[in-house]
Structure 1
Amino acid sequence: MGTCYSFVSTEKIKDLGAFSRKLEHNFRIGGRVPNADPMKSYLNEELIKLEPGSDYIKEYNKRVLDSAYYQTHKIRKDAVRGIEVMMTFSSKDIPKDFDFEQWKKENVEWLQSYFGKDNVVSAVLHMDETTPHIHAVVIPMVNERLSAAHFLNGRERMANLQNSYGDRMEKLGLTRGMKGSLAKHTDIKEFYTAVNKQKIKELPQPKKHESTKDYYERAQKVFQESNYQHLDELQKKDREIIEKNTQTLQENLELANSIKKTQELIREIEHRFGEDKDTVLKKIDTMNHLNQGLKSYPDQDFSNNVFEGMREILRFEKEKTKRTRKEPEKSLDQILDEAKKELQK
């Protein structure tokens, strides 16, 4: 069984007309909705209910009028009036023990926890399309003021939203995907646009004596299942490519950090010894050759005398250095050892 992913996406509502369009779509008002099976509309469920006789515009106006800030201030023309949040999962690889009722409950609790209970005015579950999903409408009031930016603006805040939702869904066996991924989940409008573009060229042929209604229902089912399956496969392939590229990018960043540390060490050596790295490397190589030569020289008594003489000279120089200036933070041996390791990577 493959991995089952959870998805959350958002769309800003910038005017009152958009509230009306969202209401019509979410509550199936005013005609048939594309990609929805009218025979299954009875399965849809209002998880967070509007007040009787209310709608999205009335809920928005109520919160603005109740705000002390807007008693003395006008709403900015470019203010974002609301946020629509869509939550779903890749139903093809759903775990066998998946608890759908708990999924609904977790989504409602996450919405109210993340955006504020009073801000979430509606949440509707759609079961009349191929993939179950929830549309929620949020009036983003923060400290008595409209502030969609508080939840959505900037890479860090969007990452927080995705991480928060992903963590909540993990307990249900759903996977958010690679954290820090470059993948950007398509917004709600792009989701439906993508579905509509994946149209099959041939519908099934009518059966003998099949009524128009029966043929419509059968063709609609074939159309939806084929399109959603194809779209789901494309999205999975895109995610695999993106996450592979993300891993490569992370490896490159680690390499860049290593190079940066090496460059800093080179600058430290050049500053400490007043010489460029090539000269320092030559001296390190000379010292290594000298060390190997002392170990392999046939006359070991002579080698030991030379080695002891070098140690005595080094101790003398270090003592003299202590008297003339502050002892460096790292010993000569430490600096040379680090330099050799970093520059040979």
Structure 2
Amino acid sequence: MAPFINIVAMLWSLVIINSVCSPRVIINALSLNHYEKTCPSVEDVVAKVVKDAISKDRTVPAAVLRLHFHDCFIRGCDGSVLLESRGGNNAERDGPPNISLHAFYVIEGAKKAVEDVCPGIVSCADILALAARDAVSGGPYWDVPKGRKNGRTSKASETTQLLAPTFNISQLQKSFSQRGLSMDDLVALSGGHTLGFSHCSSFQNRINNFNSTHEVDPSIHPSFAASLKSICPSKNKAKNAGTSMDPFSSTSFDNTYYKSILQKKTLFSSDQALLTTPKTKKLVEKFASSEKAFHTTFANSMIKMSNINGGHEIRKGCRFIN
């Protein structure tokens, strides 16, 4: 049975944290009962929309979870990734790392459903945070603190701040620490790679012309590298090709991702980088041996990450500012 994470004292006061895009980000006060009187049915409404979407499209869980990650890592969890480009401004969703994001329609549908029962009350950022929790079907369940506001700024140029699949452990640690997240959070949240699909371009660096000495990254198991080469034979032919992030269990939110790391059978350099420090390696081994430990830590890390918020408004719709 998936662990239930009950965070009782999650009412945040005004806090200042470090951020890549802004050295001073105000975190709005969040609480578990934020909509208790104004929109008590919000969680049920969002959960139904997400469940219906998953029943029609099995890519929704990974897509919604990725939307939430990419939103939170730029300007905090303010729904800015949901904004469309307008006028002369290119929004985050049109930045190079976000071109493959999808399932925006799920959040739009949830927002419409919520507006039908509680107009002008619930932010798109809260809806996305709830949808990300509900999308982790078969994984852990956690109470989502609520009260986020939506941001009014979304710039494609800022997507360079997102994690890259080529990152080494130092780059990963720096990115997480700048957002108030620990090494434990880094290893646990990387477990989101147990879901989803990756294009060859994200791991091509490991299987073709790795460096002047090796054609293939020596940290990849030879047989796994061979299978990836068969899927992505060359840069010219691999534009639309790819494979599951977790080739051994691509639709279950389980701990096989960590077992794959230990077997040297993961896609990204950033995945394998988790074995390059004693602390992160120990956590990989812990999560590989205990799915319960992974689920519990993942849930706590999701709560911690999603508390980063510096928005200013409740949007009428998620695609444009008011």
Q: Give the TM-score normalised by structure 2.
A: 0.24
Higher Rg of the two aligned structures: 1
More helix by share: 1
- In terms of fraction of residues, the more strand-rich structure is 1
TM-score in terms of structure 1 length: 0.22
Structure number with greater CO (CA < 8 Å, separation at least 6) is: 2
